[in-house]
A and B are shown apart, each in its own frame.
Chain A
């Protein structure tokens, strides 16, 4: 039985989408969907994380993602502990690896890590013997966000392939965009990136995506419009002339949305800057916006990711 599982989801950690096989993605989404349905119907879903310790280590401030991981862990029976690392040992000069080794000595089972440096979560994962989940590393990856986006799309569109998906805005500073590009590409969708050239990363045209500098062109016939937050905190200089010019050219409003398919859905990973990248009326339009559903699916996807990793962890320990 464990062998069957290992074939459909064989990861030790969830560090990014880049190393996942499409079958693993589907396995995870199926499991997450079952959790989402169970939650909605107040049905039992068991407690596969009972007896396991989950530590959330956030080296970068977060409210939403941390809460989502915490709720996901608790619903599945894990003992969850939050560590606000930004205020902790790093200030005392401890290196990331020492922090990892210290925590490892406490024998956690699941480690959820967010860090401001790209690659830092992998560095940490190499030093511990529990399952590590990347909750966002620098500008690199944010795998659970891409998975929850995928589940939201699949539920709204009935499929996760052969869709035209436009990712708009601040691609350069976005780990969400990178994980989504990997995932949507692996599932054989057409991915478009739309944004001002200062916010499109160098070499993006070689990623197997189409790059547009104009919303009207880029949104034409799109099935999904994914808006990104303008990450002012990650910018080290002028990338756009002003927020009002940005909103005028790249902010999503009813007029720009009309270029997409009539049934196109609107997504946003949050937190939103209303009036900067998205018009408040669009964000609140229950016929188009699936932003609240994304948050709901976030919990389900994190439950599924931790449950699958825990199964593999138990199988490894039993072996």
Chain B
């Protein structure tokens, strides 16, 4: 059923920055019409919020190579249950996505199994080794929406500058991981009183600013379109602000974990809180929330990184990094709303509108003529999160056992329901 009328819904329009009680009509999988006020017929949303589906950039799926951690089927289910209608996937898989052939495999697997849209990113250099650039042109033809080596930071500026120059000629977007590779080597937590007391190898927050400054200098030199995957420290913000003011084509993102957790959450070596870059001090977290509100940081994502139990049941230094986040992205983001830090339109600007704009995708808006990728949610439902209730194959969430407020009720992709909490239906 790709025709529907949804009435009595609070429509969140991140473009206009408004919340309006009204209705929305879906026809042929697209948003056909939107209006304010009451309307007869269709589905009564009973005052629930209706927003553009989340576009989560930087999702890691375990295919190819680590399907035991996450498959397109389980990632798709988790996405649908979390109100994510498009996953922009990462190429840092066990077999890196660095050739058109591997990219085609991924696209085919996604089409077969994923309940939501999948738009893959490809590696910037072969095997993510930072030596030779990938076939950027072929990869764009095969559907790559951006190029990144993920956390394997290219150490050689000459290689990176050539990649950028070449990418620019094709209009490709490069996603960088701003961390100075030398300073951040081996760091498991952010340096400071806590890390030192716990005796953990630590990295100075300055590594992020150094990585960003270097990348921005090369962006200025080459003119490439650049997105910093995660900016998590206040010390990096002035550089970002200057680059934007100077007219460079630069955007920045942050993971939801860095907006809602801090370094102290690691506590007694809890490895589910080990992420890359490491969680920061509370001062930094607060500064990042402000930066999202001000629009200096453009995009919030989950940095969904599935890890199996074995890779987390290790001493902190030896444990794998990363947390799953597709399903908890919106409930965690709603903490910022409940805390009064961000309005719902501001949240969806960072969760849906900005990623759509930056990655050239059609969704992310409540606009007639755009795909009916939608999420309906109630921001007030309270519950205690149980990690084993998550749809992801891997259960490594830092929010296990925590009180959450807000749940996705229903998710549509191209007008079709892919998740419905009430009926337990899952496409």
Contacts of B202 in A (CB 8 A): 202
Contacts of B269 in A (CB 8 A): 118-119, 122-123
Q: List the count of A-B residue pairs having beta carbons below 8 Å apart.
A: 69
The chain B residue sitting closest to A139, CB to CB, is B199
Contacts of B314 in A (CB 8 A): 95-96, 123
Q: In the complex, what distance in Å separates the CA atom of A199 from the CA atom of B154?
A: 30
The 0/1 profile, CB within 8 Å of A marked 1, for residues 299-323 of chain B is 0000000000010011111100000
Contacts of A172 in B (CB 8 A): 196
Q: In the complex, what distance in Å separates the CA atom of A118 from the CA atom of B196?
A: 11
Decide if A302 is an interface residue (CB 8 Å cutoff).
no
The chain A residue sitting closest to B204, CB to CB, is A202
Specify which of A97, A123, A202, A236 is in contact with B195 (CB 8 Å cutoff).
Answer: A202
Q: Which of A265-296 contact B (CB under 8 A)?
A: none
B318 touches A117 (CB 8 A): yes
The chain A residue sitting closest to B268, CB to CB, is A122
Q: Which of B280-315 contact A (CB under 8 A)?
A: 310, 313-315
B191 touches A203 (CB 8 A): yes
B315 touches A123 (CB 8 A): yes
Specify which of B191, B194, B197, B316 is in contact with A117 (CB 8 Å cutoff).
Answer: B316
Closest 3 pairs (CB-CB, A-B): A203-B193, A139-B199, A119-B269
A97 touches B313 (CB 8 A): yes
Q: In the complex, what distance in Å separates the CA atom of A138 from the CA atom of B192?
A: 17
Specify which of A96, A120, A178 is in contact with B197 (CB 8 Å cutoff).
Answer: A178
Decide if A206 is an interface residue (CB 8 Å cutoff).
yes
Other 5 A-B pairs with CB < 8 A, given A119-B200, A201-B196, A203-B194: A118-B198, A141-B199, A175-B199, A204-B196, A207-B196
Contacts of A206 in B (CB 8 A): 193
The chain A residue sitting closest to B315, CB to CB, is A117
Chain B residues touching A, range:
20 to 34
Decide if B28 is an interface residue (CB 8 Å cutoff).
no
Q: Which of A162-184 contact B (CB under 8 A)?
A: 172, 175, 178
**Shortest distance from the beta carbon of A30 to any chain B beta carbon, whole Å:** 28
Q: In the complex, what distance in Å separates the CA atom of A96 from the CA atom of B202?
A: 23
Mostly, the B contact residues are loop
Decide if A114 is an interface residue (CB 8 Å cutoff).
no
The chain A residue sitting closest to B317, CB to CB, is A117
Q: Which residues of A contact B (CB under 8 A)?
A: 18, 95-97, 115, 117-120, 122-123, 137-141, 172, 175, 178, 201-204, 206-207, 236
Decide if B65 is an interface residue (CB 8 Å cutoff).
no
Decide if B157 is an interface residue (CB 8 Å cutoff).
no
Q: In the complex, what distance in Å separates the CA atom of A96 from the CA atom of B317?
A: 13
B316 touches A119 (CB 8 A): yes
**Shortest distance from the beta carbon of A79 to any chain B beta carbon, whole Å:** 29
The chain B residue sitting closest to A115, CB to CB, is B315
Contacts of A236 in B (CB 8 A): 186
Q: Which of B157-206 contact A (CB under 8 A)?
A: 186, 191-200, 202, 204
Q: In the complex, what distance in Å separates the CA atom of A96 from the CA atom of B192?
A: 28
Q: Can you list 7 A-B contacts with CB-CB less than 8 angstroms, sorted by A residue number?
A: A95-B314, A115-B315, A118-B198, A118-B315, A118-B316, A119-B269, A202-B191
Q: Which residues of B contact A (CB under 8 A)?
A: 186, 191-200, 202, 204, 268-269, 310, 313-318
Q: In the complex, what distance in Å separates the CA atom of A115 from the CA atom of B186?
A: 18
**Shortest distance from the beta carbon of A128 to any chain B beta carbon, whole Å:** 14
The chain B residue sitting closest to A18, CB to CB, is B197
Q: In the complex, what distance in Å separates the CA atom of A118 from the CA atom of B310?
A: 18
B310 touches A138 (CB 8 A): no
Contacts of A122 in B (CB 8 A): 268-269
**Shortest distance from the beta carbon of B195 to any chain A beta carbon, whole Å:** 7
Contacts of B315 in A (CB 8 A): 96, 115, 117-120, 123, 138
**Shortest distance from the beta carbon of B379 to any chain A beta carbon, whole Å:** 36
**Shortest distance from the beta carbon of A269 to any chain B beta carbon, whole Å:** 16
Q: In the complex, what distance in Å separates the CA atom of A175 from the CA atom of B195?
A: 13
Q: In the complex, what distance in Å separates the CA atom of A290 from the CA atom of B314?
A: 39
Q: In the complex, what distance in Å separates the CA atom of A119 from the CA atom of B186?
A: 17
The chain B residue sitting closest to A204, CB to CB, is B196
Q: In the complex, what distance in Å separates the CA atom of A137 from the CA atom of B211?
A: 32
**Shortest distance from the beta carbon of A20 to any chain B beta carbon, whole Å:** 15
**Shortest distance from the beta carbon of A210 to any chain B beta carbon, whole Å:** 15
Q: In the complex, what distance in Å separates the CA atom of A178 from the CA atom of B197?
A: 7
**Shortest distance from the beta carbon of B137 to any chain A beta carbon, whole Å:** 41
Contacts of B196 in A (CB 8 A): 172, 201-204, 207
**Shortest distance from the beta carbon of A176 to any chain B beta carbon, whole Å:** 11
Contacts of B197 in A (CB 8 A): 18, 178, 203, 207
**Shortest distance from the beta carbon of B131 to any chain A beta carbon, whole Å:** 24
Contacts of A138 in B (CB 8 A): 199-200, 315, 317
**Shortest distance from the beta carbon of A86 to any chain B beta carbon, whole Å:** 15
**Shortest distance from the beta carbon of A116 to any chain B beta carbon, whole Å:** 9
B193 touches A119 (CB 8 A): no
The chain B residue sitting closest to A97, CB to CB, is B313
Most buried by B among A203, A204, A206: A203
Q: In the complex, what distance in Å separates the CA atom of A18 from the CA atom of B197?
A: 10
B193 touches A178 (CB 8 A): no
B317 touches A95 (CB 8 A): no
Contacts of B313 in A (CB 8 A): 95, 97, 123
B191 touches A178 (CB 8 A): no
Q: In the complex, what distance in Å separates the CA atom of A59 from the CA atom of B197?
A: 22
B317 touches A118 (CB 8 A): yes
Contacts of A119 in B (CB 8 A): 198-200, 268-269, 315-316
A207 touches B193 (CB 8 A): yes
Contacts of B316 in A (CB 8 A): 117-119
Q: In the complex, what distance in Å separates the CA atom of A6 from the CA atom of B316?
A: 32
Q: In the complex, what distance in Å separates the CA atom of A172 from the CA atom of B269?
A: 19
**Shortest distance from the beta carbon of A136 to any chain B beta carbon, whole Å:** 10
Contacts of A115 in B (CB 8 A): 315
Most buried by A among B196, B199, B200, B316: B199
Q: In the complex, what distance in Å separates the CA atom of A95 from the CA atom of B202?
A: 24
Contacts of B199 in A (CB 8 A): 118-119, 137-141, 175, 178
Contacts of B318 in A (CB 8 A): 117
Q: In the complex, what distance in Å separates the CA atom of A64 from the CA atom of B318?
A: 27
